[in-house]
Chains A and B, each alone.
Chain A
Amino acid sequence: MVKKKLVIALAGNANVGKSVIFNHLTGLHQHIGNWPGKTVERAEGTLYFKGYTIDLVDLPGIYSLSTYSLEESISRRYIAVERPDMVINVIDASVLERNLFFTLQLLELESPMIIALNQVDIAKKKGIEIDVNRLEELLGVPVVPTVAVKGTGIFQLLEKAIETIEKGQAEERVKVKYGKEVEERISDLTKMVENTRSQYPPRYLAIKLLEGDEEIVNEVERMEPSIVQHAKKLASELENIHGNSCSTILTSERYEVAGCIAREAQKIIPPRRPTAEERLHSITTDKIVGYPIVALTLLSMFYAIFAFGNSASETLSKIFYGIEPLFAKIFGTGIFGALVWGGVIEGIIAGVTVALPYIVPFYFLLYILEDSGYLSRIAFLMDNAMHKMGLHGKAFIPLMLGFGCNVPACLGCRIMETERERLLAAFVTTLVPCAARSVIILGLVGQFVGIQWAFALYAFDLIVIFILGRIAFKILPGEPTALIMEMNDYKLPHLRTVLKQTWFRLAEFIKIAFPLIIVGSFSLKLAEIFGMLERIASFLSPVTVTWLRLPSISGITLIFGVMRKELLLVMLATLLRTTNFAEVLTPLQMVVLSLVAMFYIPCIATIATLIKEFGLKKALSITAFEIIFAIGLGGVASRILAMIL
């Protein structure tokens, strides 16, 4: 072989340590993007080994190669069509049988592969001992035991991958042998599809045709419709024999084979006393104690983030504004200087002082929770509450994130399985009062009207979230998904992987939000310099003055609030030339203004995120809805509350 460039893909179930292996192998030479046209993440990295330049692709964590989810169909397509030189199948030694089910499907795709038998340490703790040689023999594929979090076996894994590529794979790999009736029909179909020009191996096509796999059926239909007809006939014959759907029959038999191999290769001697991880799991999912633990964990997480964020944010702005005089000296204080400073630099400052202090610790702690396995326990406990909004337990996570900042929260909605749920969760998330909105509620209403009114606003917000979530859930077409989630054993998070994930999320935020924040603040500065603001204010006065019964100046502050919600308060102080808002606003006006600020529009960075995740149309629909909703609500509230306040 003279080929010096290799492509190796990592494939396997979720939470088996694939990304840890990926990080070990690629170090800093990696980039994370999306699969073309999809919202599924694609992690790719480069490494150099024994004279080869290796392109390593980390495929999404999946349980099967059917087309249940986008991730599965992407992975399958990638392996069959792009044909990497080697697929490293990472499997969790502590859940061998389930992982082997996936391995068998990879084998059916007939791609060259080796196996990384990961987390052998965790398996050992659970009393599971795996005979690596036996497993290798049974599968006909090289197996390398690894403990990725400690870096054990990673070098050997890479060496084995290269060796296997160079020598070529042994031919006696295990083949799932189905029952006699099934095999007959598979070989019948295999002969028929042999002449089609599909990228998939003929036997694989035959199996998937019998299972009625949508993507494969469509592909074959385009080439040779008669084959599909024939497959349907064969499948219904099988269904008559077994009394089950064909995909059920084949999945069962595949699992049967996986079970046999697992039983042959592993010895399980359960430890006499439950392990520490096991006991921790019992406590954290306990029917009574579980909830206070969730509350305590989240509260201390928020406290830590806000404590850190506040002081870091202040320090950063001090540093930035410290250079203002110097800047004024260089660029002058004329229109140009004002534009550059007020428009561009202040936009950057705004971004940095928000992004770094709050978003970084937020992500860091979130990934610690996720990596350790606790997040799935929270989802387990909160599932029922989320169901009331047509979402399931996992949606609790982006919702929590929303209290910090809506941007990571919207991105966090990716953990939901279907497009519909992603959108539903994101919509609900944009209504969660983020840190900036809390500043308004507490700074305006809490301080000048009374803290009980501030809490009333929060409570009202939660009610609105609940009601709108429920309505959206009824309106959006499609069925709700129930929670199906693996709860992996607790483990110590791998710090380097967590840091890297945090870093990539931060980079993503900067890429999405910064351009818009800067363009936005630049145009506002421009409008200010040319005296456009008063005109905008009077243009908006039918809404602000007549309908919402607010001072005309509030129109300007609402526009600034789109940049960053807390700017609303800052601008209010600037324009009214006082921070004692009680002098210029009635309590009623303060409550109404805060109410509108809570809902009226996602901030510009959130809008950008929505566009990125769901496209322009859906992002604008959410935005338009929230503007109309907030204004309508504000007007009604100003009339009703006038009777009390």
Chain B
Amino acid sequence: MEIKSSEGPIVPLTMLRDGEAGIVVSIRSGHGGGRGCGFERRLMDLGLTPGTKVTVVKSAPFHGPLEILVRGSRLALGRGMAERIFVEIEKVW
């Protein structure tokens, strides 16, 4: 699968503002390594594979979780996890 690396800036999902969308580039596995990769698996099983478009609908206050739209489903993602998902911001047209 081709990842266009030259188009937009690559930032953690938490950097997107409400309503903005991005394309998943990579998911950084958790600290400690080893067993941490479980979350990565989970996220991918829910459709957050590289190349997928993710829209941030809103984030809960006080650094709460993010509400995102991915492949037609609505997910709540803890902020700590969202920080590890790197996306390329879609070009503003």
Interface residues in chain A, defined as those with a beta carbon under 8 Å from any beta carbon in chain B: 63-64, 66, 68, 94-98, 101, 242, 244, 247-248, 251-253, 255-256, 259, 281, 285, 287-288, 376, 379-381, 383-384, 387, 392-393, 478-479, 481-489
Query: Could you write out 6 A-B pairs with CB less than 8 Å apart?
Result: A252-B51, A393-B78, A483-B78, A484-B75, A487-B67, A487-B74
In whole angstroms, what is the CA distance A288 to B64 when docked?
A: 13
Question: Quick check: A384 and B62 within 8 Å, CB to CB?
Answer: yes
A97 to chain B: which residues have CB within 8 Å?
Answer: 47, 71-72
| Residues of chain B within 8 A of A285, CB atoms compared | 58, 60, 67
Range for the number of chain B residues in contact with chain A: 35 or more
- How far is A119 from B63 in the complex, measured between Cα atoms in Å? 34
Task: Please provide the 10 A-B residue pairs with the shortest distance between their CB atoms, ordered closest to farther.
Answer: A482-B78, A64-B45, A482-B81, A483-B78, A252-B49, A384-B64, A251-B44, A95-B73, A380-B76, A383-B65
Q: How far is the CA of A414 from the CA of B73 in the complex (A)?
A: 24
Q: Smallest CB-CB separation from A179: which chain B residue?
A: B1
B51 touching A486, Cβ below 8 Å: no
What is the distance, in angstroms, from A610's C-beta to the closest C-beta of chain B?
Answer: 26
Given A259-B71, A479-B35, does the pair A393, B47 have CB atoms closer than 8 Å?
no
CB distance from A47 to the nearest CB of B (A): 32
> In the complex, what residue of chain A is closest to B27 when comparing beta carbons?
A248
Given A64-B41, A98-B46, A255-B47, 10 more A-B residue pairs with CB atoms under 8 Å apart are A63-B42, A63-B45, A68-B41, A248-B40, A252-B51, A256-B1, A380-B60, A380-B67, A479-B35, A482-B78
Q: How far is the CB of B58 from chain A (nearest CB, A)?
A: 7
Query: Of the candidates B51, B65, B71, B79, which one forms a contact with A98 in the assembled complex, judged by CB atoms under 8 Å apart?
Result: B71
Residue pair B32, A479 in contact (C-beta under 8 Å): yes
> Which of A68, A376, A489 is within 8 Å of B76, CB to CB?
A376
- Chain A positions within 8 Å of B51 at CB level: 252
Minimum CB–CB distance from A452 to chain B (whole Å) comes to: 29
CB-nearest residue of chain B to A259: B71
Cβ A484 vs Cβ B52 within 8 A: no
A287 nearest in chain B by CB position: B61
Contact between B73 and A481 (Cβ–Cβ < 8 Å)?
A: no
- Complex: how many Å from CA A248 to CA B40? 9
**Is the pair B81, A484 in contact by a Cβ cutoff of 8 Å?**
yes
- B15-57 CB mask vs A (1 if < 8 Å, else 0) is 0000000000000001010011011111111110111100000
Which of B30, B43, B65 lies in contact with A479, CB distance below 8 A?
A: B30
- A488 to B67 alpha-carbon distance, docked (Å): 12
B75 contacts which chain A residues (CB < 8 A)? 484-487
